[in-house]
Chains A and B, each alone.
Chain A
Amino acid sequence: MAKKIESVQLPFSVALQIVTQGIRVRLGRSLVTLFGVLLGIMFFSSVLTSHLIKVGVADEDRTRAEANRMANILEAELGYSMDGRVGVIVSGELDASEQRLPRLLTRRGIQTFAFDDPAPSGVGRDGERVDILLIMGSESMNHDISGLPQVPIAVTRSSSEDTPRADVPMLVSLTRELSPGELERREAEERTARYRLTWIVAIALVVTLMGITNAMLMSVTERFREIGTMKCLGATRRLVRRIFLLESLIIGGGGGIGGALLGALFSIIFHGFLYGFPQVMFSINLPVLMGFILLSAVSGVVLTVVAAVYPAGIASSMLPSDALRSNV
């Protein structure tokens, strides 16, 4: 025997080569496993994307309804004069419906212009006539209105509890206040939706995990003899475990990435037919969608590797003599 014995080791590239070769030759089985992962992750990804689209579409609907409602009030305040002019003051951050409001008013034939503030007394910057002043944004209700022209003022964020101000001829609140019942109902709805989503996602993940474990176990049992042979030839436990984990990593990577992309795509197409593509495209929050796709793909890889830990453990701890004797 040699004086100094190097350890039995296998370069990573060789393990990778064995694995890719194995996948290629057992392509049928590998594809079935891969499709198992793919379908599970596709479901997962489509559930997440659907949720995102639904929330987006609902938000979009709410924003539109809100902007319309505010425009309606302003229109009513202006009366039927066809050349109503609205001076817009922005104070603080605008929300989505406030951003839409000026455009919406213009579309309805109401002129809007940015009203300089503080303004010279009486009129707008260029001495233009103003019929109503619209103060928008998160700071609108705290906006200093002294020194503004003596015209009706509409504020988007004021509440009815704000004290009426004697110095202003007319203060119009555009805020819609939800009744406690309405608020409660909305919260309950959101809670139910969240529970349902969590439940469906959990089921999808568990089913995927079981499916992959089963497929990997099959992959181990049908290779008992091969594993035994490899062990007789000097493969260590570590190597055998590594081969199975690597295989699951490749399958999980393929199935995870494919499933995440396909699931999102499927969901977008489905909702596109349901709500119309422009609506869906417009209401998707792209960074969040990317995040969900990434999450799905990573879940696919992690699930597959976790599912393979047990079968890989069985394979690696098998005695070579037992592995050879099996007639699987």
Chain B
Amino acid sequence: MTAFSTEKFQQMIEPGNGDIIDHVIRAVGLTKVYRMGSEETHALRGASMEAKRGEYLSIMGPSGSGKSTLFNMIGALQKPTTGRVYIDRVDIAQLDTEELAWLRCRKIGYIFQTFNLIQVMTCLENVMLPMAYAGVDEEQARENAIEKLQLVGLGHRLLHKPAELSGGQQQRVAIARAMANNPAIILADEPTANLDQKTGEEMITLLDDLKKKFGVTIISATHDLKMLQRSDRILWIDDGRIVRTARPDELDFSSTEFH
């Protein structure tokens, strides 16, 4: 089995000038070209961004803007054609598949629009799964999972299967699962899109609480106004580039661009 050695780890660290770097994700000049036969599609044309530790960052963009591609890259789910992604200062392009699995397991928690719970497992088992991957022993994992489920307000639904839960409850389980290995980053892909407004707001509050409580960095792709308003920063992406960055208080949410 692969193990990160300290030396290898050192080599992968982003070159810096010795300053304290407080960003947890930094993407530099990302491009992504999809080839379909002779046709080339540029999903990203040199996107750069960074997220600070404990930041709540929202990414906005029309469909086809490259939003999903950027999202997948900072989540180590896809490799860029050119450019670099540093997570906790480690260049993830240099990681092999085992190391990427390690990264996904412990550094990043994913939340999906469609929840993506493993239907055949109970809530408890779903939350225990990432811990099993991380090699946590079963008793410990069970204890942690119960704690995480209580954190999202589902302490009474431990042994239910996802199909027996409402959408909001399923997304709570997904959040508990994302938090399972105490990741530094939570990536949420349209987490409220499949939920009604009220449930969506509950979800936003929950994420906000987690951010404050655990200092976790949250990056979400979203169109949800409520979510944008709670973010620390909003990035706009269009045609494969980051076209604008703003804080919510600089924006007029009643303007047409948000509707």
Which residues of A lie under 8 Å from residue B90 when comparing CB positions? 1
From A8, A225, A229, give the contact of B101 (CB < 8 A): A8
Q: Judge whether B98 and A7 touch: CB under 8 Å.
A: yes
Known: A233-B177, A236-B98. Contact between A8 and B135, CB under 8 A?
Answer: yes
Pick the interface stretch among A18-26, A191-199, A302-310. A18-26
Q: List 19 A-B contacts (CB under 8 A).
A: A7-B2, A8-B134, A8-B135, A9-B133, A25-B119, A25-B120, A225-B114, A225-B116, A226-B116, A228-B116, A229-B116, A229-B118, A231-B101, A231-B104, A233-B133, A234-B130, A234-B133, A321-B72, A324-B77
Pick the interface stretch among B3-11, B147-155, B191-199, B225-233. B3-11
Complex: how many Å from CA A229 to CA B119?
Answer: 11
Known: A232-B110, A237-B97. Contact between A320 and B77, CB under 8 A?
Answer: yes
Complex: how many Å from CA A22 to CA B125?
Answer: 13
Q: Judge whether A234 and B110 touch: CB under 8 Å.
A: no
Interface string of B98-117 (1 = CB under 8 A from A): 10011011110010101011
Interface string of A158-193 (1 = CB under 8 A from B): 000000000000000000000000000000000000
Q: Is A94 among interface residues, defined by CB-CB distance under 8 A?
A: no
From A8, A25, A225, give the contact of B98 (CB < 8 A): A8
Q: Judge whether B1 and A9 touch: CB under 8 Å.
A: yes
Q: Is A14 among interface residues, defined by CB-CB distance under 8 A?
A: yes
Residue of B nearest to A325 (CB): B68
Q: Judge whether B1 and A324 touch: CB under 8 Å.
A: no
Q: Judge whether B120 and A234 touch: CB under 8 Å.
A: no
Q: Judge whether A4 and B6 touch: CB under 8 Å.
A: yes
Give chain B interface residues in 82-103, CB to chain A under 8 Å. 88-90, 97-98, 101-102
Q: Judge whether B107 and A236 touch: CB under 8 Å.
A: no
Complex: how many Å from CA A3 to CA B134?
Answer: 16
Complex: how many Å from CA A6 to CA B102?
Answer: 8
Which residues of A lie under 8 Å from residue B97 when comparing CB positions? 236-237
Q: Judge whether B98 and A4 touch: CB under 8 Å.
A: no
From A5, A21, A24, A321, give the contact of B78 (CB < 8 A): A321
Q: Judge whether B106 and A234 touch: CB under 8 Å.
A: yes
Complex: how many Å from CA A229 to CA B75?
Answer: 13
- Highest count of chain B CB atoms <10 Å: which of A24, A26, A226, A237: A226
Complex: how many Å from CA A119 to CA B121?
Answer: 85
Q: Judge whether A234 and B78 touch: CB under 8 Å.
A: no
Residues in chain A within 8 A of chain B (CB atoms): 1, 3-11, 14, 21-22, 24-26, 225-226, 228-239, 319-321, 324
Which residues of A lie under 8 Å from residue B125 when comparing CB positions? 21
From B72, B78, B118, give the contact of A226 (CB < 8 A): B118
Residues in chain B within 8 A of chain A (CB atoms): 1-6, 9, 72, 75, 77-78, 88-90, 97-98, 101-102, 104-107, 110, 112, 114, 116-121, 125, 129-130, 132-135, 138, 177, 181
Complex: how many Å from CA A319 to CA B101?
Answer: 11
Q: Judge whether B102 and A319 touch: CB under 8 Å.
A: no
Complex: how many Å from CA A236 to CA B2?
Answer: 11
From B3, B118, B121, B134, give the contact of A234 (CB < 8 A): B134
Complex: how many Å from CA A4 to CA B112?
Answer: 30
Residue of B nearest to A327 (CB): B114
Which residues of B lie under 8 Å from residue A236 when comparing CB positions? 97-98, 101
Residue of B nearest to A24 (CB): B120
Q: Judge whether B105 and A233 touch: CB under 8 Å.
A: yes
Q: Judge whether B133 and A1 touch: CB under 8 Å.
A: no
Given contacts A26-B120, A229-B112, 11 further A-B contacts (CB under 8 A): A5-B9, A7-B2, A8-B102, A11-B132, A232-B77, A233-B104, A234-B105, A234-B133, A234-B181, A235-B101, A321-B78
Shortest Cβ gap from A20 to chain B (Å) = 10
Which residues of A lie under 8 Å from residue B105 when comparing CB positions? 8, 233-234
Complex: how many Å from CA A232 to CA B188?
Answer: 12
Complex: how many Å from CA A238 to CA B78?
Answer: 19
Q: Judge whether A4 and B4 touch: CB under 8 Å.
A: yes
From A6, A7, A238, A319, give the contact of B77 (CB < 8 A): A319
Which residues of B lie under 8 Å from residue A226 when comparing CB positions? 116, 118-119
Residue of A nearest to B107 (CB): A1
Q: Judge whether A21 and B120 touch: CB under 8 Å.
A: yes
Shortest Cβ gap from A183 to chain B (Å) = 64
Shortest Cβ gap from B215 to chain A (Å) = 15
Complex: how many Å from CA A4 to CA B10?
Answer: 11
Which residues of A lie under 8 Å from residue B3 when comparing CB positions? 4-7
Which residues of B lie under 8 Å from residue A238 when comparing CB positions? 98
Complex: how many Å from CA A237 to CA B100?
Answer: 11
Residue of A nearest to B108 (CB): A232
Which residues of B lie under 8 Å from residue A24 when comparing CB positions? 120
Q: Judge whether B102 and A5 touch: CB under 8 Å.
A: yes
Complex: how many Å from CA A3 to CA B9?
Answer: 8
User: Which 7 A-B pairs rank lowest in CB-CB distance, beginning with the nearest?
Assistant: A234-B105, A5-B4, A7-B1, A25-B120, A321-B77, A234-B133, A236-B101
Complex: how many Å from CA A236 to CA B121?
Answer: 19
Complex: how many Å from CA A263 to CA B39?
Answer: 56
Complex: how many Å from CA A244 to CA B114?
Answer: 24
Complex: how many Å from CA A14 to CA B117?
Answer: 18
Complex: how many Å from CA A19 to CA B114?
Answer: 23
Which residues of B lie under 8 Å from residue A319 when comparing CB positions? 77-78
Which residues of A lie under 8 Å from residue B132 when comparing CB positions? 10-11, 14
